Structure 1
Amino acid sequence: MMTKEIEQFEDGNATLELANMLKEYAVSKTILNGGDPASALFGAAMKVLQDQHGKDGWIPVAKRWLQTLIDAEGAPTSYN
């Protein structure tokens, strides 16, 4: 049985893994096409979420992802 803390940490790890994959894609894309890596990363993240969760289903996932990043500020999570 997982505690709430372990479950949240595991969710953070899964999010971090996805973020790392998207970062690699965004950096590669900007090397090939020029542009801003941060914009490419955000665009790639939203596209992947839309592809995986549908036209409307991606929005709650994106909100949770961004809230996780905000909440991670100074907290012991898989992000830091």
Structure 2
Amino acid sequence: MQLGYCREIAASSGGKYYPIADLTSRAVHDIVIQERERELLSSLQALRKTGLEKRAERNIKNLLEGKSFLFFLPSY
């Protein structure tokens, strides 16, 4: 695979291109850690959003049915 092709793949997928000369074992380790942290943060944000949406839907349903409910907003 040509390096130019790899650069195109990285650019088109929103990723980052790393020159082969810069990829020491430490650099690869750091890249993997950064990517893993970014994925975990993204997953947590998606879960938080999903949880808030479900809570809001439940509260709206209870309100429409005339039931009392408590609505808590998380602090960030």
TM-score range, shorter chain: 0.3 to 0.5
Structure of higher RCO (CA pairs closer than 8 Å, 6+ residues apart): 1
Larger-Rg structure? 2
Q: TM (normalized to structure 2)?
A: 0.43
From the two aligned structures, give the one with the greater helix fraction: 1
